[in-house]
A and B are shown apart, each in its own frame.
Chain A
Amino acid sequence: MKNPDEIIKSLEKKLESFDQRLEVKNVGRVVKNTDGVIVATGLSLAQMGELVEFSDKTLGTVLNLDEDSVSIIALEKSDHIEEGDEIKKTGKLLSINVSEDILGRVVNPLGETKDGKVKIKKGKDMPLEKIAAGVVEREPVNTPLKTGIKPIDAMIPIGRGQRELIIGDRGTGKTAVAIDAIINQKGTHKKGQKPVYCVYVAIGQKQSTIAQVVEKLKETGAIDYTTIVVASASDAASLLYLAPYAGVAIAEYFMEKGNDVLVVYDDLTKHAWAYRQISLVLRRPAGREAYPGDIFYLHSRLLERAVKMNKQNGNGSITALPIIETQANDLSAYIPTNVISITDGQIFFQTDLFYSGIRPAIDPGNSVSRVGGAAQTSSMKSVASKMRLEIAQYNNLAAFAQFGSELDEETSKQLERGKRTIEILKQPQYQPLSEGLEYLSIYLATSGSLDDTPLEAILRFENQYHEFMKRKYQNIIDTLDNGQKPSEDLLKKIDKSILEFKKMFKV
C-alpha cells in the first residue's frame, strides 16, 4: 500500500511538467487481422520487437517491417481488433518486470500473475531479447549442479552455467527429471551454501499438467525459490513464443545479483511449433519441415544466455535444461539436431528402457555431458568414474548371454555386477538424493558389496541401508556431502557399515 504523501508528491511532480510542449505520436491503422497477426499501415517509426498498444489497450509486438506496412502479433486475444483501429507506439521493447517477490509465483510471459494472489511488487524491467554475455565476461563451468538423480550425477554430471538437453519420446520421464532437479535445489538454501533459484517455463503444456507441477513444488517446499512461467496450450502462439525468453529474463535478474539460477524449458519442441505458426501467418519463407529459416537462431540466442560469469562480473550463473520431445526416438530430426548442436550435452531417454522398468530411462550410451568431470565433485568422480564403461561392457555381454551359451566365471561375474549397477541406478520420482546418499548407493554397486544380494532385493537393500546410515552414521553422510574425495579411513568405515547392515538385512 503506497503512502498517500508519496502519491501526492508524484502527482505534483507530474503537474509541474504540465506545460505547452507539443507531443508527437507515431500511430498506425489496422488493415488486416488474421489468426492473431495484425497488418497495419503507418507506424513508420516502429522498431523491430517494439511493444505497441491498440485502442482497447491490447498489447502487441512488431515482428515484420515492410515498406508500406507493419506486421504485429497480438499478445492477448485479438478477435475484437477491427480494420481501422488505431495502434500506438509505446517506445518500449518487450520486457518483464521482475523483483524478489516473483519467487514462488506463477506468471505469464508478460509478467501478469496467474496464481490468483496479490500483484507482484514493481522491480526492474528485464528485456526479453538481450545479447548474451561475451567470452571475456565468462569463465569455464567448474561448480556442480546436483540434480539428486543417481545416473545423472554419476555419469552425466551437470555444472552451473551449462546447457544440458533432456531429450526423448513422450511419456519417458523427462519432466519428472527436471522437477526432481528443481526439488533437489532445496539443499542449497541452507547456511554456508550458495543457493540456486529456479525458473520452470511451461510452453504449450496442458493446464492440468502445470497445476500438478505447481502442486508438487508446493508440497516439497520447492516453490519458495521457484518461479513458474506459464504459456499453456490454450494461450496465443505469441505467448508460447515469448515464454522461454521471459524465463531467461527472470533468471538474468537473479544472475546479475551474483546468484545461481536453474532454468527448465518444457518444452522447446512446442516453442518451435508456435514460432513456425507465427512465421507462416507472417508469410515468411518456409524451409525444411515448414520451419522458417531462422529456427536455429530462435533457440541458439535463447540458450546462449545460459552463462557462468567470472568473479569480476558478479560470479552468477544460469544453467539451462531445455527439453525436446522426439518422435519414435529419432535424434536425427530437424529440431533435435539443432538443439543438440547448441547444448553442452544431452540426456537421452529411451522408451524401451522406460517400459522395461528402468526409470529414469536414461540411455548412458547416447547421453553425454561435454563439461564432464569439471562439474563433478571429487567424491563422485572417485566412485563413478568407471561406471559408464562398466555399463557399456555389460550391455555388450548381455547381448551374448541371450544366446544361452555357457559363460566363464569372470564373464558371469561381470554380468551380475552390471545388472546390479543398473538396478541401483533406478530411482523413484520426486525422491532426489543428497550427494552423500548417492555416493553410498553407487559405492554399494561398484565395490561389489551387492554381488551376493538377489537382484529383486537391491532397491529394498539400498532404501534400508540409507535409513540405517541416517540413523547410525549420519556423520559419514555429512562428510560425503562435502564433496571431497573420501579418505582411506572413511572408506574403511563405509565398508564396516555395509558389513554391519548386511547382518541385519533379511533377503
Chain B
Amino acid sequence: MDKKLLRKLVLASYTKGNLDEDKVAKIVKYLKKSELREYIKALKLFEMQNTVLVSVTTDKTKDLKKHFEKIFFPKKVYVEYDKSLLAGIKIADFDNIYELNLKNKLENLIKHISE
C-alpha cells in the first residue's frame, strides 16, 4: 500500500485526537490481509509518535498533566508516579527521552567508574 494513502487512512481513523473504533471498523472492511497488517503497524507507530509519557516522583499529577499538554500539544500526555527516579523527572516523547533525575545521574556515575 502507498505510504501516503496509509497515512491518510491513519489520520482518518481519529476523531478529536482519539482513535475512533467505528471509523476503524469501516476502514478495515475494505482492506486485504497484507494491507490490514500495514494499517495496524501504522496505527501503532502513529500512537507511539503522538504519546508523551511523563514520569515524576510526586503523586500530584493532574496539574502537571495540564502543564505538559500545553507544551506538547496536540500530543496525548500521560503522567505517572515513579518513585524509582528518586528525584526529578523523565519525559518520553516517542524516541526522545529527556532525563533530569537522580537515578539517571547515579547510573552515569556508575558507568563512569566502571570505565
Q: Dominant SS at the B interface?
A: helix
Residue of A nearest to B102 (CB): A18
CB <8 Å contact, B98 and A44:
no
Min distance, Cβ A88 to any Cβ of chain B, angstroms:
9
Interface check B67, CB cutoff 8 A: no
CB <8 Å contact, B95 and A26:
yes
CB <8 Å contact, A14 and B112:
yes
CB <8 Å contact, A23 and B95:
no
Query: What separation, in Å, do the CA atoms of A68 and B112 have in the docked complex?
Result: 33
CB <8 Å contact, A18 and B95:
no
Interface check A56, CB cutoff 8 A: no
CB <8 Å contact, A23 and B104:
yes
CB <8 Å contact, A25 and B96:
yes
CB <8 Å contact, A42 and B94:
yes
Q: Mark B30-54, 1 if CB is under 8 A from A, else 0.
A: 0000000000000001001000000
Interface check A410, CB cutoff 8 A: no
Interface check A507, CB cutoff 8 A: no
* Range class of the A interface residue count: 20 to 34
Q: Dominant SS at the A interface?
A: mixed
CB <8 Å contact, B105 and A26:
no
Q: Mark A14-30, 1 if CB is under 8 A from B, else 0.
A: 11001011111111110
Query: What separation, in Å, do the CA atoms of A11 and B112 have in the docked complex?
Result: 8
CB <8 Å contact, B100 and A42:
no
CB <8 Å contact, B99 and A22:
yes
Residue of A nearest to B112 (CB): A14
Residue of B nearest to A22 (CB): B100
Interface check B97, CB cutoff 8 A: yes
Interface check B109, CB cutoff 8 A: yes
Residues of A within 8 A of B112 (CB): 10-11, 14
CB <8 Å contact, B100 and A27:
no
Min distance, Cβ A21 to any Cβ of chain B, angstroms:
8
Partner pick for B99 among A14, A15, A18, A25, CB 8 A cutoff:
A25
Residues of A within 8 A of B100 (CB): 20-23
Query: What separation, in Å, do the CA atoms of A27 and B105 have in the docked complex?
Result: 18
CB <8 Å contact, A26 and B96:
yes
CB <8 Å contact, A44 and B95:
yes
Min distance, Cβ B16 to any Cβ of chain A, angstroms:
25
Q: Which residues of A are at the interface with B, using a C-beta cutoff of 8 A?
A: 10-11, 14-15, 18, 20-29, 41-45, 67-68
Given known contacts A23-B108, A43-B95, A68-B45, what 13 new A-B pairs fall within 8 Å (CB)? A11-B112, A18-B105, A18-B109, A23-B98, A23-B99, A23-B100, A23-B104, A25-B96, A25-B97, A25-B99, A27-B97, A42-B48, A42-B95
